[in-house]
Amino acid sequence: MSKKKMIKITDISKNTDKLASVANEDLMPLPADFEEKEWDKIPESTSEKYACILDDLNILQIPKPLTKEDEEDLVNKFIDGMRKLFSKEDNWTFLTILETTMEHCAKCNTCSESCHLFEASGENEMYRPNYRTEVFRRIYKKYIKEEPFAKWRSGDIDLNWRTVVRLGELAYRCNICRRCAQTCPIGADNALVAREIRKIFSQEMGISTPELHEKGSMYQLKIGSSTQMNQIVVKDNVEFIDEDFSDETGYQFETPWDVEGADILLIHNAGEIMAWPENIAAFSIIFQAAGISWTLSSDLAAYDSINYGVFYDDVQFARTAILQAQAAQKLGVKKIMLGECGHAHKALTVIADRVLPEPLKIPRESCFPLLRDIVMSGKIKFDPERNNFPVTLHDPCNITRLMGIIKPQREIVEKLCPQFREMHPHGPFNYCCGGGSGYAIMTRNNIPEWRFKIAGRKKLEQILNAFSDCRGPETKKYVCAPCSNCKGQMRDMFERYELLEKEQLTYSGLVELIVNAMVDVKPGFIKWEEDY
């Protein structure tokens, strides 16, 4: 039954079991009938330890306060962190952008309709982009800025432990896709507020999600990759990929490692090596066939482009970016190139641009422009007939909306895929896959349910609509999703809704489409399940 009710800003502080719940009846309808089950209960092992008072799931593991002192401690630490967030020394990175959002939002809700979570949840107030910002803004005006008449001017808020816990969790109910920021007439940025709240928890309170922190950025700093592959294992695995795919494709290739003075240091998301080895192979085949001077690096953090700090922690972000730049400096390459990973693109190319000091300023670029140039150059022979199945293109937010790389990937699919069709909207106005800002790697408890039911719902609708002329299991279809996180989200979502069986729908990257069309490679590089 619909549990929709108007949630007031001040409800966040109330002594209730939870703030909100999204019922199946309220979900945005899809252009196909998919059965949705009720939310799985949060396991007791989780709800006993962590404060689960926002909705039907738990993402940020905030220890449950057991005593009055614990409760006060939570509030005091949060306020300490918030003060630092508004200090130029501790938050030089984002202070200006945060302050302007605090001061100039007109509270007009123009950003609401742009948010796929708000829409997918049946406009549940909790998901309105401005909801968490408004709570945060009221705390800022009342407790940090101590603005005279804050209560009347900006609205009142009671800052208790429930407010803190719910606000922390709410920061993890946003994909930080910045679609809302794009529609704001003023230029305010609700996505940034979600990220800044995550920073308070991580940088001050030492609370973050295990997937992003302990098993994410910390593994990368410790072992070299969040996949836990050290440099020996990663090289072994890639060697195995080289052998395996040389046999399979009939195209002999070898992935170069640690080549000093190469033109390009390519950094893959190491998750590809484990989950989508064909992506690694495809890059190596294309670069070898095009005669590119390139290398991978086996240095700490430099064979894994991920930088989860970009989702929750500036310090972890800077540490990772510096290690990656240092590896490039050591090899003396001309530039760093990012493989098919959206957040890694943005992290190292754009955000690190004002973090890396002079000696580490090695130019950084996306792989797509070079791939486009290779495909257009005539150096490699293609047969587009091999890609003659319906293909649509997913635009990873980080690469398109946040970096303006729109055309290169389109020029490639337009040339190599006779049945290419766009999703709507697309390019910089795309919708997030639902896995953005860290969720794609989260499989804890009922988080996947949320990823499919709410976060990925709009993308699923877009995909199904893009193939409205060829629905059903008779026609093989392909979603080109050139980003590891987006692929992770699609893999899990397609499995949940049995889209391979019901729709012959598969997903993979851009380089796979290129290699699939290469005349020098045996046909059938891209596989639908039954081909394996």
Q: Is residue 9 involved in binding another protein (CB under 8 A)? A: yes
Of 13, 114, 419, 506, which one interacts with ligand SF4 (CB under 6 A)? 114
Residue 514 near residue 482, CB atoms below 8 Å = no
Which of the ranges 62-70, 113-121, 212-220, 416-424 carries the binding residues for ligand SF4, by CB under 6 A?
A: 113-121
Of 75, 98, 176, 281, which one interacts with ligand SF4 (CB under 6 A)? 176
Of 30, 39, 155, 449, which one interacts with another protein (CB under 8 A)? 155
Residue 101 near residue 190, CB atoms below 8 Å = yes
Q: Rounded to whole angstroms, how far apart are CA atoms 503 and 474?
A: 7
Q: Is residue 21 involved in binding ligand SF4 (CB under 6 A)? A: no
Residue 212 CB, shortest distance to another protein, in Å, is 12
**CB nearer to ligand SF4: pick between 145 and 415:** 145
Q: Is residue 180 involved in binding ligand SF4 (CB under 6 A)? A: yes
DSSP 8-class letter at 296: B
Residue 202 near which of ligand SF4, another protein, none (CB within 5-8 Å, type-dependent): another protein
Render the burial of 104-125: b for 16+ CB within 10 Å, e for the rest.
ebeeeebbbebbbbbbbbbebb
Residue 181 CB, shortest distance to ligand SF4, in Å, is 7
Residue 129 near which of ligand SF4, another protein, none (CB within 5-8 Å, type-dependent): ligand SF4
Q: Is residue 412 involved in binding another protein (CB under 8 A)? A: no
**CB nearer to another protein: pick between 345 and 457:** 345
Kindly state the tokens that stand for 381: 């022979």
Kindly state the tokens that stand for 192: 């940034």
The DSSP code sequence of 205-260 is: T----TTTIIIIIHHHHHTSSTT---HHHHHHHHHHHHHHHHHHHS------BS-T
Q: Is residue 108 involved in binding ligand SF4 (CB under 6 A)? A: yes
Residue 193 CB, shortest distance to ligand SF4, in Å, is 9
Residue 1 near which of another protein, ligand SF4, none (CB within 5-8 Å, type-dependent): none
Q: Is residue 105 involved in binding ligand SF4 (CB under 6 A)? A: yes
Residue 212 CB, shortest distance to ligand SF4, in Å, is 16
Of 46, 93, 110, 237, which one interacts with ligand SF4 (CB under 6 A)? 110
**CB nearer to another protein: pick between 181 and 500:** 181
Residue 461 near residue 453, CB atoms below 8 Å = no
DSSP 8-class letter at 23: -
Residue 479 near residue 503, CB atoms below 8 Å = no
397-456 residues near ligand SF4, rule: CB under 6 A: none
214-253 residues near another protein, rule: CB under 8 A: 218, 221-224, 230-232
119-138 residues near ligand SF4, rule: CB under 6 A: 129-130
Q: Is residue 154 involved in binding ligand SF4 (CB under 6 A)? A: no
Q: Rounded to whole angstroms, how far apart are CA atoms 412 and 407?
A: 9
x/- string (CB under 8 A) for another protein, residues 356-395?
xxx--x-x-xx-xxx--x----------------------
Q: Rounded to whole angstroms, how far apart are CA atoms 343 and 177?
A: 11
Q: Give just the sign of the alpha carbon dihedral 310, 315, 319, 325.
A: positive
Residue 267 near residue 303, CB atoms below 8 Å = yes
Residues 6 or more apart whose CB falls under 8 angstroms from that of 327 comprise 265, 297, 299, 300, 301, 302
Residue 445 near residue 57, CB atoms below 8 Å = yes
Residues within the interface to ligand SF4 (CB under 6 A) = 105-111, 114-115, 117, 129-130, 174-180, 184, 186, 188, 190-191, 194
